[in-house]
Structure 1
């Protein structure tokens, strides 16, 4: 019996979903434990311990740049396999704790590069096979793999709190990484088809862009999708304002005497996304990106305002709901929107650009907001984040909204 052309959840989609979920779970598991592991195992200062955790993000940026530049020529599936093999090797090398802090930092950097590559090309492989009329819905479902990784990854770190040795965490990461590799190998995606049709049919491409799609890119365009860059700047602003939740909600909750509830904010975030993804993608496909993006960023702004005036555990947990319907929704809707806006035929470069700027916002956010926090306190910081979120809406209306309408016309 022939497969329906509008089907979303295919065998390859499911395998890539599992693989990407594992990549994200390993990332968040190690991110939440690495600084303390480095400090306790090597007796280093907090600055070096923090570097052991954060250098992973530097590697992630490098990995995304490499993906944007070379995935189409090398082949997205082959690049994913190489990245996952490297991840397995790096997880094995975490067990070599006798080689010093410098070796650990180097391993974290290379692991970050493999993560950046895998987390770019695996979603690109998944969305490339989606039917155009269900692109938003399918992207939303696939992005649940990242959301579940965010929710479940840190929960696995409780093993250390129960007294288990860190080597058990690393063995767990090795096992999970091997599974991610094994489920990705059977994915039926030929490199030739990727180069020919690296994006879903029906995306917004002009005749000129299609005719020049095979021309080699040079300079900035060789690793950045210039046709979606302005839209990705919008996502940078969104991620920049959201980063204050990721970085400071735990210390904020402790300061308010609600530290025990902080981990549940992200659990609420993940559960809310599981529910909202059932319909936000369908709304996007039927009514357009504007119908979903405006309410989602407004929701995030309300959540940040709520964070500024938290006075009870219920209000703290409600922040997770607003962040899920806000930032979580905008991430999946935004990725599908970027693919629709792209005028080239290289999905990997489009997604690389999208995540590069999102990661940039999440990366520089804690640094900038840290200064605001030290000078003016939590309330002023979250109020400022809300202002940035609403400024993002104005930017989107001025720069991106009409482009999205023209693309769908």
Structure 2
């Protein structure tokens, strides 16, 4: 029996830590931006939403060019440039004096966030032994999931004691640490594309083989947008705002408990044995959230969402990368996250309109049923893929 090649190499640890810091800053800014617009720039709630949306817009647009850029210039070079400019743009918030300047900076920063997260995910996938990719990307995904808790915690805690400018300096300092971690990442030398005269095709923007699983990711992230965007408003309406601060803590604990097991099952038995139960559990979490009337029900819902959704993102990413040729891991990562980010963006806007009509409780019930029905779409997609491979 062949000895298992290790996942936890120096490069894997450093790319994971660097990714953690990137997402800590991303979620801290996501949480703090509406407050900053209201309190420091004298803006409105709507303008706070626009400041969040314009960042996502530039990030989504850039996803479609990321694979081509990585192939042309090389992953390590783009990792360092994008990390540096993401850190610099974080520091530039200190000099923002108007809402217009803020929007320009948010758009600029979204470009580098998109590039750095695409290249970091592609490098992580390349570093992990192919036979352990499901398990390895599961561990890598923990960096993003933990940042959901740490980022908002830092932003909401610091804003009680220090000015917005000092908060931006602290976040820029966090990114500098992430930059130095990335310096220690060793990337396998790869051929860099020199052909500038070839005719542009869809393959320069997307990895077609990764689109089917990316569409599943779109539907799941569309539903998850309801958690990211409305959980605080919903819990406040229920009088459970204090318990809401522990929602993502329970979510993270549940995710951490199952991640090592689900990663190994993914690699040894296959993706469906992990993905189908996870989709159902995520749907059940949304349905239980719709009936939450006490702190324990709210936290139980957080646990179910963590067990379900927390497993799905790295699983989908692994399938997207496996579907592509090795040299196109950047395209596969970019394609997956383009659709995933689009799901969050579309969900954040459209679900707010729906919630205004049916109420948050009914919204979560409808989304829970919708998520469970995604199982049938996933099964149809996998059976189609299996049939085409034969």
What SS class does the counterpart of residue 7 from structure 2 fall into? coil
Cα distance between partner residues in 2 of 1:272 and 1:105: 37
Counterpart in the other structure of 2:142: 144
Counterpart in the other structure of 1:332: 314
1:359 aligns with 2:341: yes
Q: How does 1:25-104 map to 2 (within 5 A)?
A: 25-98=24-97, 100-104=98-102
**8 Å CA contact retained: 1:236, 1:357:** yes
Counterpart in the other structure of 1:133: 131
What SS class does the counterpart of residue 115 from structure 2 fall into? helix
Cα distance between partner residues in 2 of 1:250 and 1:47: 17
Query: Shift of the alpha carbon at 1:244?
Result: 1.0
Query: Shift of the alpha carbon at 1:59?
Result: 2.1
Cα distance between partner residues in 1 of 2:138 and 2:387: 20
Q: How does 1:250-399 map to 2 (within 5 A)?
A: 250-343=232-325, 345-399=327-381
Q: Deviations over 1:366-392 (max 9, x none)?
A: 222122211111222112101221221
Query: Shift of the alpha carbon at 1:28?
Result: 0.3
Counterpart in the other structure of 2:230: 248
Query: Shift of the alpha carbon at 1:105?
Result: 1.2
What SS class does the counterpart of residue 246 from structure 2 fall into? helix
Does 140-149 or 381-390 show the bigger shift?
A: 381-390
Q: Structure 1 residues 218 and 5 mapped into 2: Cα distance closer, same or farther (>3 Å)?
A: farther
Q: Structure 1 residues 263 and 217 mapped into 2: Cα distance closer, same or farther (>3 Å)?
A: farther
Cα distance between partner residues in 2 of 1:64 and 1:58: 10
What SS class does the counterpart of residue 44 from structure 1 fall into? coil
Does 160-169 or 8-17 show the bigger shift?
A: 160-169
Counterpart in the other structure of 1:13: 12
Cα distance between partner residues in 2 of 1:256 and 1:217: 57
Counterpart in the other structure of 1:173: 171
1:118 aligns with 2:116: yes
Does 55-64 or 116-125 show the bigger shift?
A: 55-64
Runs of 5+ unmatched residues, structure 2: none
TM-score normalised to structure 1 length: 0.89
Q: Deviations over 1:191-223 (max 9, x none)?
A: 42688xxxxxxxxxxxxxxxxxxx968332211
Does 227-236 or 371-380 show the bigger shift?
A: 371-380
Counterpart in the other structure of 2:385: 403
Q: Structure 1 residues 264 and 401 mapped into 2: Cα distance closer, same or farther (>3 Å)?
A: farther
**8 Å CA contact retained: 2:127, 2:187:** no
Counterpart in the other structure of 1:206: none
Q: How many residues align?
A: 385
Query: Shift of the alpha carbon at 1:8?
Result: 0.5
**8 Å CA contact retained: 2:206, 2:335:** yes
Query: Shift of the alpha carbon at 1:162?
Result: 2.8
**8 Å CA contact retained: 1:64, 1:116:** yes
Q: How does 1:100-249 map to 2 (within 5 A)?
A: 100-192=98-190, 218-249=200-231
Query: Shift of the alpha carbon at 1:273?
Result: 1.6
Q: Deviations over 1:160-209 (max 9, x none)?
A: 443211122111111111111111122221542688xxxxxxxxxxxxxx
**8 Å CA contact retained: 1:372, 1:380:** no
What SS class does the counterpart of residue 163 from structure 1 fall into? coil
**8 Å CA contact retained: 1:84, 1:114:** yes
Query: Shift of the alpha carbon at 1:403?
Result: 2.5
Cα distance between partner residues in 1 of 2:241 and 2:319: 37
Q: Deviations over 1:221-276 (max 9, x none)?
A: 21111111011111111111121111111111111110111121112112222211
Cα distance between partner residues in 1 of 2:337 and 2:387: 23
What SS class does the counterpart of residue 95 from structure 1 fall into? helix
Q: Structure 1 residues 150 and 345 mapped into 2: Cα distance closer, same or farther (>3 Å)?
A: same
Query: Shift of the alpha carbon at 1:5?
Result: 6.5
Cα distance between partner residues in 2 of 1:404 and 1:151: 38
TM-score normalised to structure 2 length: 0.94
